[in-house]
Chains A and B, each alone.
Chain A
Amino acid sequence: MHNRPFALVTERHGQAILFATNAIAEQEGLNPGMKLADARAIFPKLTVEPTQIQKDKAMLEKIRIWCSRYSPWTSSSEIQDEQEKEKKDPNLILEGPGGGGIWIDATGCSHLFGGEEIMLTDLVNKINQIGFVSKAAIAETRGAAWALARYGQNNQKNWTIAPLGTVRETLAPLPTAALRLSSTTRLNLQKVGLHTIGDLLKLPRATLSARYGTTLLKRLDAAIGKVSESISAVKYKEPLYVRISFSEPIGNSEDFRAALEKMLILLCQKMESQGVGARRLIFTLYRVDGSIEQRLASATHPIRDIVTLKNLFNDRINDIDPGFGVEATTLFAERTEALGDTQAKLSDDRKSNNFELLIDRLTNRFGNEKILSPRITESHIPERAGTLSSITEKHRNADIKHKNIIRPVRLLYPPEEVETIGLVSKLLVEPPSVFRWRKVVHEITLSQGPERISPEWWRLGNTGTRDYFQVEDSRGRRLWIFRETNQGSKTTRWYVHGLFP
């Protein structure tokens, strides 16, 4: 993707527009904000992918967490997608790709890394190594650092440091956009000829607030350090993980159960404080010889009930091989989902969700893919009309109405060809009077049909047109047979496709 124009595409007012472009695309004259149709007119072979703003955000968050190696106080500035921009107050919108960034409050931290310069070099290099181009700045205010990182004259190393006490002078030549101003405000400033932060600093403050409201002054003051602006660092979330070590190795399943229960009590408390329930738990046992044994349990819905969670493991504790003994156990809620607080009922009535619990227990025992449920598929072709799929999978066609028609109880797959005996009318659609199937001769006494089903022509290797008959033979066996006519080869063949009771 480096060597050809590439762009991420998003939608604005129902039109596809470019959200971001790579360097080659930019050389071709493709810029963010351009309509995709226009971009394609200029460069027909442009490769595009949809913008996934949530993924970008998640990635930024990961980088932020990684950045906390430099200082515990970090936060990320937003990336906004089109929908969010529309919802937001237009005066607060930041235009352009200046949204995604990370603040690190490095006060008192830089010496740990050998000084500011070394720290910044290290930071930029490391992020480059992960595969991102980045720029960084250190300044005495948060606003100034934001401005310098984006609009500053960078040295070769892609970072800037504003010497202490020089913030006014450093910021003065930067454009007003560096103050995190809305595009409207920036345009208004530009119209009256105020282009730089320096231009603004020269003016009487009252004239500015009278025209552009208080946001501008606030941002200006914060940037030059007249008012302080702190980073609201993201709170560290405690992992849903508990561990117990044993002074003496344990070895029998009763002990494992006791350990599990003890850990579940702790884990459920933690989950309650975070308002979540477990969808997937990992129970790990550490043997004295260093090897481990794991048990996984998953649920179709979030659970925070100790007994229920314990039951999920119940059947699979006995077969744990303790080896020379287990010295520690851990329990980790790997997947969680939000679960509100619930009040325990007075009567211990859990019967209502018995079926779900049964499914959970069965799937935990045999595996998700082993417990299947039949689903309707909308297709006229009998063998495609129904499928079996894992019961835990949510089915998207859950609301399909079944066609009110009778089909055999047992469907043969694939249909089995029969040998017709005697004359079969080629013109009229009629079942053969006698045919041999599975070495047995069937004499037809009753028949009903035909029901004609045409192939799904858009599929590859599709079959011919089928005429189905429900027939009964002389011994009272009821079969579902069909004649297949292939248009291409002009052949007809007869098959048995199902059995009626």
Chain B
Amino acid sequence: MNSYVELQTTSNFSFLKGASYPEELVHRAVELEHKAIAITDRNTLAGVVRAHLAARETGIKIIVGARLDFTDSESILCLPTNHAAYSRLTRLITLGRRRAPKGECYLSIDDFLNAQKDQIIVILSQSQCDLDHLSFTLSRFSGVMGDRCYLSLQNFLEYGDTRRIALLDNLASKVNVSTVVTNDVHYHDLTRRKLQDTLTAIKNRCTVDNAGYKLFVNAERHLKSADAMSALFPNHKEAISRTVEIAERCSFSLDQLVYEYPDDEAPPGTTPQKHLTDLAWAGAQDRYPSGIPDKVCLQIKHELQLIDELSYANYFLTVHDIVQYARNRGILCQGRGSAANSAVCYCLGITAVDPTKIDLLFERFISAERGEPPDIDVDFEHERREEVIQYIYKKYGRERAGLAATVIHYRGRSAMREVARAMGLSRDVEDALSKASVIERLSKKNKLPLREVGLSENDPKIILTLQLASEISGFPRHLSQHVGGFVITRGRLDDLVPIANATMEGRTTIEWDKDDLDTLGFLKIDVLGLGMLSCIRKAFELLQKHHQHEVDLATVPAEDPEVYKMLSRADSVGVFQVESRAQMTMLPRLKPRAFYDLVIEVAIVRPGPIQGDMVHPYLRRRNGEEEVTFPSESLREVLGKTYGVPLFQEQAMKIAIVAAGFTPAEADGLRRAMATFRRMGTIQQYRNKMIRGMIARGYEEDFANRCFKQIEGFGDYGFPESHAASFALLVYVSAWLKYHHPAIFACSLLNSQPMGFYAPAQIVGDASKHGVTIYPPDVNYSHWDSTIEITAEGLDALRLGLRQIKGFREDFADQLITARKMGNGRPFFDIDDFARRSNLPKSVLEQLADADAFQSINLSRRQALWSTQRVNSNQAPLFIESGEGIVEQKLHLPSMGLGEEVSHDYRTIHLSLKDHPLSLLRNLMTSMRAIPAKKLSKIENGGVVSVSGLVISRQRPGTASGVIFTTLEDETGSANVIIWPSVFEKYRKETLVSKLLLVRGELQREGLVIHIIARHLIDMTSKLYELATPYKNNTQKPRYPSRDFQ
């Protein structure tokens, strides 16, 4: 009986070359009864973990290897025979990748020969190769490697293959190198030829029809059976059986990789566990100066014991070190994730959520049973996260730390576009095909809406395009860097996995993504950026500076009822997480009264609970409108805290375990199957298992379905309680700042932009509504950042910074402020003085004048502009010195109306302190029957009203099936408008381009929450332009009759 092992495979992790997933290659090899299969992608190991995982389920042996393409020679397959050789290979690829730009790998034969020990290589010959050169290469490799060096024989039934095989065979015996058969597999099954040709065309940016000789002649590069391979090489039986020999000699498996936590932290003479214990108790003393509560004491002991059992001490110490670094540099940070909200982490300062306030069972997150590493993500101030990242690189070195990769996949639209281009379809057809509706239905295998977008259902080219696009979607397209997942190792990381350069300078990434790391049990620490932390740190600093009030995340006065009252009013502009529209409508319904309510608030407005239809039941039960029952007694423990309604990811998983009889590992597999795109067919299995399991245990089918739906929703945006708890603290702290120090809070928000949901105009407007005095940007008072000034009454006032001025640069602000300081506090008294002292370019002076920043020297915007426009050239030693000093008569420029002022303010600083455009248009709006937003609360439910306002947001959430949410703002407040798809179709233009909108529709009220369901929309944008240019005859457009085409 013949046997054969394929040693040369190119999976789709050789981007745009291979046309099958590594898993598909493995499954096909199993079907063909091969004993093993090598995965040899081009200069990469990116696909091997997936193959490894697929093999784990089937028992086939995976030979981990790579095809190495050299800059100076024929390519080879490199197959490490043992762990040490594998590490040499990963280091070799690291070397080639680190010296090349992203996506490339530069290696020479010499590089390889330094790493050749215990590698088996197969030298690949080109179909039209120079035999002399090949002979030279062969002897060069075989001279060093002896019998670990092979020459490949390939028969693709192409022109001259038979002859070539004979020549190569001859050559091999002459230089005493054995031959081995390979089939350069590019796809697992020959039906993928079309896809492979398409990928080739995409890679070469041409159509398949123009790709010509770049395409393979035939479809022979698929995985073949041993018999088929033998038939191709009737005279080379030994070269076939050598594939099996080689497979046997390669004894390395990814299972041999052992991940070890870094052990840098424990000082000599102590163990990590001891060190951690010391740190934890010392931290506990600081956290509870008046004595550690017994409950906490017990908890710490318990956790430390568990950590000891599982030897996680080094992990906690590593996170602690990173957090400590940030703390010393004054970078605010906060941990979250399964292990983060433990008492130990609270004592170590990793989190500020007091474990006495929230009862999260530690075991729930690190369990001996699953053997999974604990999970801690740490959020840092977004503006300073890079410092932390560079610290990690510096501390552990590039060879011990790297960012995880993220595999970017082809998705519906990108797949459709690229395939359409490769098929040579016109741009218009491409546009039509890549419409969301086509793609969505394609993925659901529904009947295609081709007619609707004006395409024929019978056009074979279009059918082909759709088929190929659906095949290609899900294919990896390139590797990108994970948002912040670091892998740090005790030994060298590049012994485990190749490290490559990222696009971003100063970053290096490994070749595996977080699923791969999970598979192999590697630790990842997520170092993430969070804008709100920047904002809170700035607010703390201002508090210290202006009020000598020192607080941090843990010491902000807790459980302030006024803060909760404010949130219950949905008065939450700027507050972390709960400022979005959806959250604002939830707040008055949920009426948070205590910290745990905020945890729920954060988690409930998410795709999971919404898709699982859990929100309304929860609200009803919480408000006592529905009896709190539990589907079963065993679920009481799981769902007790949330009135029997599952809201958190942990609960959904736990239901699978408790109610459907999943093992914890299965539950985790289920969650991961959801998160990973298109894991072939496994979701349906899990679904059946779960629902059957639950029904078998006596649950209602409806409840089972909803639970599963919810897990489905969690897939992409899983939101566990442990994360929600950390976020909830930031919600509380930011709300506390907003309530007690609105000026400082607004100031910090402005200085941390861009972040959050609202633009500066809304933040400033909101602050002003809360009684804060706002001062405009001014050359005599403003800094780059916004600042706090104290009013005559001793209150905080907000002075807008120069950063609010559109297009203004920080270095010019510095120059201006230096000039101001040099004058010993003497204010600038006119433009000449300002220009001379600041020495700023004319364009910058104009920018300041245009932004009306000369108000303190009594110059109107126009006067200031008129003066600055005169400043000569780019640099400004001014008129007086330059001899041009004819003193101009003060000119009477046409004065600006309020409307003009306001619209120029909007143009230059995106907001106006002088008035709101809508109050200037109020008469007009009233004549059109639009009422101020403030009065909406007086209208009864179901009444038809008109409102108008500036369009400040437009959203089309994925969970809302085409419904558009728009927020309008007028001088009295804002109005939430809902536009249904049918109305949208009628008013596309109005919905999409209006800056000022008038909406007529039905008012809907739920508690405090008011929506207008739009029926008619009128675009009023032109009225804004009229405000800006009251001069009637000045249309900027030439007055043509509109041109027409014949």
- The smallest beta-carbon distance between B1038 and chain A, in angstroms, is 4
Is A275 located at the chain interface by the 8 A CB criterion? no
Question: Does chain B have a CB within 8 A of A398?
Answer: no
Task: Establish whether residues A196 and B988, one from each chain, have CB atoms under 8 Å apart when the complex forms.
Answer: no
Segment of A203-211, A471-479, A489-497 engaged in the interface with chain B: A203-211
Interface centre among A191, A377, A451 (most CB of B within 10 A): A191
Chain A residues with Cβ under 8 A from B889's Cβ? 204
Q: Does B684 contact A (CB under 8 A)?
A: no
| Contact (Cβ within 8 A) A133 B1041 | yes
**When A404-B128, A450-B157 are in contact, do A193 and B869 touch as well, CB less than 8 Å?**
no
Q: Look across to chain B and name the residue whose beta carbon is closest to the beta carbon of A133.
A: B1041
Asked whether any CB of chain B lies closer than 8 Å to the CB of A379, the reply is yes
Task: Please state if A207 and B213 are interface contacts (CB–CB under 8 Å).
Answer: no
Known: A133-B1040, A458-B209. A192 touches B992 (CB 8 A): no
Q: Please tell me if the beta carbons of A177 and B866 are within 8 angstroms of each other in the complex.
A: no
Q: How far is the CA of A194 from the CA of B423 in the complex (A)?
A: 56
B461 touches A23 (CB 8 A): no
Of the listed stretches A40-48, A104-112, A266-274, A340-348, name the one at the interface; the rest are far from the partner chain. A40-48
CA separation between A324 and B460, bound complex, in Å?
63
Residues in A with CB closer than 8 Å to B1035 are 175
In the complex, how many angstroms separate the beta carbon of B609 from the nearest chain A beta carbon? 31
Check if A42 sits within 8 Å of B992, measured CB to CB: yes
A151 touches B (CB below 8 Å):
yes
Answer whether residue B458 sits at the interface, using C-beta atoms and an 8 A cutoff: no
A380 to B865, Cβ gap below 8 A?
Answer: no
Q: How far is the CA of A458 from the CA of B195 in the complex (A)?
A: 11
CB–CB B862/A196 < 8 A: no
Interface residues of B in 521-552 (CB under 8 A from A): none
Which residues of chain A from 139 to 154 have any CB-CB distance to chain B below 8 Å in the complex?
Answer: 150-151, 154
- The answer to the question of B447 belonging to the interface, with a C-beta cut-off of 8 Å to chain A, is no
Find residues 204-229 in chain A having any chain B CB closer than 8 Å to their own CB: 204, 206-207, 210-212
Q: Tell me which residues across on chain A come within 8 A of B770, comparing CB atoms.
A: none
A41:B893 contact, CB within 8 angstroms: no
Whether the pair B870, A42 counts as a contact (CB closer than 8 A) is no
CB distance B1041 to A29 under 8 Å? Answer: no
Which chain B residues numbered 144 to 187 have a C-beta less than 8 Å away from chain A?
156-162
Closest to A466 in B: B218
From B460, B861, B988, give the contact of A43 (CB < 8 A).
B988
Q: Are B213 and A151 in contact (CB under 8 A)?
A: no
Chain A residues closer than 8 Å to B218, beta-carbon distance: 452-454, 465
Report the Cα distance A20→B159, complex, angstroms.
55
Query: What residues of chain B lie closer than 8 Å to A20, measured between beta carbons?
Result: 1043
Whether the pair A42, B231 counts as a contact (CB closer than 8 A) is no
- Cβ 8 A contact of B888, one of A26, A194, A207, A429: A207
Within 8 A of B (CB), among A46-102: 96-98
| Proximity bits, A360-390, B CB within 8 Å = 1, else 0 | 0000000000000000011110000000000
Do B1041 and A40 touch (CB < 8 A)? Answer: no
> B258 on the interface (CB 8 Å rule)?
no
* CB-CB contacts below 8 Å: B818-873 with A: 846, 850, 861-862, 865-866, 869-870, 872
Whether A28 contacts B989 by the Cβ 8 Å rule is yes
Question: Residue on A with the closest CB to B453?
Answer: A44
Our pick among A1, A40, A196 for the contact of B431 (Cβ within 8 Å) is: A40
**Are B993 and A191 closer than 8 Å at their CB atoms?**
no
Interface-central residue, B162, B209, B904, B1034, by most chain A CB under 10 Å: B1034
- Contact A41:B992 (CB < 8 A) given known A206-B886, A403-B213: yes
Q: Does A484 contact B (CB under 8 A)?
A: no
Alpha-carbon separation in the docked complex, A28 to B865 (Å): 37
Among B989, B1043, B1045, point to the contact of A29 (Cβ < 8 A).
Answer: B989
In whole angstroms, what is the CA distance A450 to B158 when docked? 8
Q: How far is the CB of B350 from chain A (nearest CB, A)?
A: 45
**Does B215 sit at the interface, judged by CB under 8 A?**
yes
Query: Contacts of A98 on B, CB cut-off 8 Å?
Result: 1038
Contact across chains for A378 and B210 when beta carbons are under 8 A apart: yes
Return B746 CB to nearest CB of chain A, in Å: 29
Q: Check if B212 sits within 8 Å of A211, measured CB to CB.
A: no
Chain B residues with Cβ below 8 Å from A21 are 1042
Could you tell me the distance between the alpha carbons of A43 and B218 in the complex, rounded to whole angstroms?
A: 45
Is A245 close to B, CB under 8 A?
Answer: no
B1019 within 8 A of A: yes
Contacts A451-B158, A454-B193 given; does A1 touch B1046 at CB 8 Å: yes
Of A29, A173, A452, A459, which one neighbours B158 at CB under 8 angstroms?
A452
A68–B197 Cα distance when bound, in Å, is 58
Total interface residues in chain B, CB < 8 Å: 68
The answer for the CA separation of A465 and B893 in the assembled complex, in Å, is: 83
A377–B212 Cα gap in the complex (Å)?
Answer: 8
| Contact present for B988 and A42 (CB under 8 Å) | yes
Nearest-Cβ distance from residue B20 to partner chain A, whole angstroms? 18
Q: Which residues of chain B come closer than 8 Å to A43, judged between CB atoms?
A: 988-989
* Least CB distance, A172 to chain B, in whole angstroms: 11
Query: Given that A192-B893, A454-B219 are contacting pairs, would A428 and B870 also be in contact in the complex, using a CB cutoff of 8 Å?
Result: no
Contact B1040 A135 (CB under 8 A): yes
A228–B1033 Cα distance when bound, in Å, is 28
Q: Which residues of B contact A174 (CB under 8 A)?
A: 1033
- Are A151 and B1046 in touch, CB under 8 angstroms? no
- Name which residue of chain A comes closest to B214, CB basis: A378
| B1042, A378: Cβ atoms closer than 8 Å | no
Q: Which residues of A contact B1042 (CB under 8 A)?
A: 21-23, 26
The chain A residue sitting closest to B161, CB to CB, is: A451
Identify which of A20, A40, A378, A459 gathers the most chain B CB atoms within 10 Å of its CB. A378
Most A-side CB within 10 Å, residue of B161, B993, B1034, B1038: B1038
B1029 near A203 (CB under 8 angstroms)?
A: no
Residue of A nearest to B991 (CB): A42
Interchain CA distance A222-B1044 in the complex, whole Å: 32
- CA of A215 to CA of B899, assembled, Å: 31
Query: Is A237 in contact with chain B by the CB < 8 A criterion?
Result: no
B1029–A195 CB distance below 8 A? yes
Query: Is residue B1039 within 8 Å, beta carbon to beta carbon, of the partner chain?
Result: yes
**CB of B113 closer than 8 Å to a CB of A:** no
A252 at the interface (CB under 8 A from B): no
**Which residue of the partner chain, among B156, B1031, B1037, B1044, contacts A96 with CB atoms under 8 Å?**
B1037
Q: A6 at interface (Cβ–Cβ under 8 A)? A: yes
Option from B162, B217, B846, B1044 in Cβ contact (under 8 Å) with A23: B1044
| Residues from chain B with Cβ under 8 Å of A2 in the complex | 1044-1046
Closest beta carbon of chain A to B951's beta carbon, Å: 14
Q: Is B880 an interface residue (CB 8 A)?
A: no
Which of A192, A194, A404, A459 is packed against the most chain B CB atoms within 10 Å?
A: A192
Q: Which residues of B contact A429 (CB under 8 A)?
A: 157
Indicate if B678 sits at the interface (CB-CB under 8 A): no
Question: Would you call B208 an interface residue if the criterion is a C-beta within 8 Å of the partner chain's C-beta atoms?
Answer: yes
A210 to B213, CA, bound (A): 66
What 1/0 mask marks residues of chain B from 565 to 596 whose CB sits below 8 Å from any chain A CB?
00000000000000000000000000000000
Taking a contact as CB atoms under 8 Å apart, the answer to whether B1038 and A97 are in contact is yes
Query: Chain A residue with minimal CB distance to B160?
Result: A405
- Chain B, residues 1009-1044, CB within 8 Å of chain A (1/0): the string is 000000000010000000001010111111111111
Question: In the complex, A431 Cα to B891 Cα: how many Å?
Answer: 101
Judge whether B1043 and A133 touch: CB under 8 Å.
Answer: yes
Q: Which residues of B contact A29 (CB under 8 A)?
A: 989, 993, 1019
11 contacts between A and B (CB under 8 A): A6-B1045, A22-B1044, A96-B1037, A97-B1043, A195-B1033, A212-B869, A452-B157, A452-B158, A458-B197, A458-B461, A465-B219
Given A192-B866, A378-B210; 9 other pairs, CB 8 A cutoff: A20-B1043, A23-B1042, A29-B993, A97-B1038, A191-B850, A191-B904, A195-B1033, A457-B197, A458-B423
On B, residues with C-beta under 8 Å from A are: 128, 156-162, 193-194, 197, 208-213, 215, 217-220, 231, 423, 431, 460-461, 464, 846, 850, 861-862, 865-866, 869-870, 872, 884, 886, 888-889, 891, 893-896, 904, 988-989, 992-993, 1019, 1029, 1031, 1033-1046
The 6 A-B pairs of least Cβ separation, nearest first, read A378-B212, A452-B157, A29-B989, A23-B1042, A193-B894, A150-B1038
